[in-house]
Chains A and B, each alone.
Chain A
Amino acid sequence: MDKVDIPQGTLELMILTILSRESLHGYGISQKLAALTHDVFQVNPGSLFPSLYRLEQDGKLKSEWRPSENNRNAKYNKLTAAGRKQLEQHRARWDRISFAIASVLEGA
């Protein structure tokens, strides 16, 4: 299937969701995203890293350097309490949006 651009404003939601399950480094996040969406979404590192740094500056993420699965030192990103709260808000908003769109498409 063709790749699709990630809809505006949803990258952060997906990053936060992925990081709420496990701490990951940049490459790990992009791999996870591709795997979870069956390669429909492939995040461009030029968008991923700015988002990660922004989230970190906002205190939603914390990072630490530690050896990765294949023994390279990598920067792991971890959700903070503020990040969890942000995720909840994002998620609630997204649920409303997708419900609203589905209502239109199904046109009851």
Chain B
Amino acid sequence: MILLHRVAAALRWLLRRKKEEQHLDAELQTFIEHSAADKMRDGISREEALRLARLELGGIDQVKERVRSNRYGALLDDFTRDLRFASRTLTRNPYFAATIVVTLALGIGANTAIFGLIDSLMLRWLPVKDPQDLV
């Protein structure tokens, strides 16, 4: 039940990301305004109050990042970001991408070939006693 709830929450966050970010932005902004209003009541100028309030919040972007990384779905979110970044990098440098693909292909191919050879020559004996004595 709780798991289902968390998965739903994570998906909701991923799908409505822009809206959620805007809400968080607005929420932090109201934090600053409320805090500044309190300070102005103590006789501090508006400018100074806003400055102190921002200081108290500790950086909108830092708080946003902490909220983001603390949510369910943050891992998935990071993963899709990495994927997007990788595909962008690769399409921007097609030769680089081709080199990687060929290198991987050759590497895997060579490994498979050699393992195939060793497997049949050294690892897999016939299912009889002393197979080397068979004629």
Interface of B is mostly: helix
Q: What 1/0 mask marks residues of chain B from 38 to 65 whose CB sits below 8 Å from any chain A CB? A: 1000000000000000001110001100
- B33-92 residues at the A interface, CB under 8 angstroms: 33-35, 37-38, 56-58, 62-63, 66-67, 70-72
A9 to B38, CA, bound (A): 29
Pair count A-B, CB < 8 A: 70
Chain B hits for A44, CB < 8 A: 58
Judge whether B30 is part of the interface by a CB distance below 8 angstroms. yes
Cβ-closest chain A residue relative to B62: A46
Q: How many residues of B contact A (CB 8 A)?
A: 28
Could you tell me if B27 and A75 are in contact, using CB atoms closer than 8 angstroms? yes
Given the interface pairs A70-B34, A75-B27, the reply to whether A57 lies near B72 with Cβ below 8 Å is: yes
Chain B positions near chain A (C-beta within 8 angstroms): 2, 5-6, 9-10, 13, 23-24, 26-28, 30-31, 33-35, 37-38, 56-58, 62-63, 66-67, 70-72
Closest 6 CB pairs of A and B: A50-B70, A57-B9, A27-B34, A74-B30, A27-B31, A75-B27
